[in-house]
Amino acid sequence: MKPSSDFTAELAKFKDPKLARELVHAIEGFSPEGGATLMEVCGTHTVAIARAGIRDLMPEGTRLASGPGCPVCVTCNRDIDTVIALARVPGVTIATFGDMTRVPGSTSSLLAEQAAGRSIEIVYSPLDAIALAESDPSRQVVFVGVGFETTTPLVARAVKRAADLGLSNFSVFAAHKNMPGALEAIVADPRLKIDALILPGHVSTIIGSQPYEFLARQYGIPGVITGFEPVDVLQGIAMIMRQLHEGRAEIEIAYARGVMPQGNPHAVAAIDEVFETCTATWRGLGDIPGSGYRLRDAYAQFDAVRRFQPDVEQTVEPRGCRCGDVLRGIMAPSDCPLFRKACTPENPIGPCMVSSEGSCAAYYRYY
């Protein structure tokens, strides 16, 4: 079905060069003396900013730093090694999204395990993993649950579905994370000196704007939730610059077509029913209390680690990889000594070069 002419015309507004120029002018007019450091939290924003050349449009002294908004990238090596250990359990099939297969662990990857004969299936939805389990009761299907609040409700519903079906050969490795805890770790770090945040659009469709209010209230950090088209991003930056110019610190929404202040209560309820928060280890940020999700005891039978208790090898970080510093916004990908040399999309040393949302992959493609 072709999109309607009204829809096409509406979408074109978000790429309108005239609107974009007006917003760039507004950004320049509101820019603080000496500039400012804005962090785009979402990996999709990082790609959108790079693709549209928005960094090059910023006033002198204004820096757009990429943050920990790529779920694959922030998954720590220990979690990757655990998934690999699960793949080595006899009778287990790993069901995962495609980019996870190429993320290197300490000594291997899921792609390497597949080449060695382990059962790895690429799926597009956790419900695909349910279907795999139903189709072959002799196999134990483990779905790798990686992502922020955007994907967590889908995995929660899959676990509920498995419980309703009485599936005994389906389980989940849960490495889901929530965004507000990581943002607090970033803004509270005096070394980063973040002045404002470009807040994620996809995550915010689920949780809304209210969970970010503490950033403005406790830390005086302005934030704007925005979409992903060029005019979306520029509008969000202009709103941030206006707050900085006026000395305000508020959480605003520039993506009203997708985000409501209260978010999606049904999706949040699905998460809360199946998962509880826990301490999670983020690549580059370390352990952050309350920033992860684990299955509640009522659904413990679907926890792959509890079920199989895999033998996980000693974790080793990739030598020379600065992915952690990139995720914290301390350095640009191009400042990493491995970038474009030892580390490329064809031979990734760290996950920031693997995922399509990774900062290193975006810089490699567009800069």
SS3 119: strand
pLDDT for 10 equals 67
Q: pLDDT tens-digit profile of 57-103?
A: 999 999 999 999 999 999 999 999 999 999 999 999 999 998 899 99
Q: Percent of the chain at pLDDT above 70?
A: 97
316 SS3 class: coil
Hey, is 143 helix, strand or coil?
strand
- Return the pLDDT at 192: 85
User: 181 or 45: which carries more pLDDT confidence?
Assistant: 45
Closest to 310 (Cα-Cα) out of 89, 100, 123: 89
User: Exposure pattern of 319-334 as b/e (b: 16+ CB <10 Å)?
Assistant: eebbbbebbbbebbbe
Q: Which pLDDT score, from 0 to 100, does residue 1 have? A: 52
Residue 14: what pLDDT? 81
| Cα distances (angstroms) measured from residue 244 to each of 195, 213, 215, 241 | 8, 16, 14, 5
Taking only the tens place, the pLDDT of each residue in 292-323 is: 999 999 999 999 999 999 999 999 988 999 99
Q: What is the mean pLDDT of residues 323-346?
A: 94
Domains, the chain, with CATH or none: 35-314 (3.40.50.11740), 323-366 (no CATH)
Please check whether residue 320 is in contact with residue 342, taking contact to mean a CB–CB distance below 8 angstroms.
Answer: yes
Q: What is the pLDDT of residues 226-278, one digit of tens each?
A: 999 999 999 999 999 999 999 999 999 999 999 999 999 999 999 999 999 99
Q: Read off the pLDDT band of 3 (50, 70, 90).
A: low
At 190, is the pLDDT very low, low, confident or very high (cuts 50, 70, 90)?
Answer: confident
Give the predicted TM-score (pTM) of the model.
Answer: 0.92
- Quick one: pLDDT at residue 300? 97
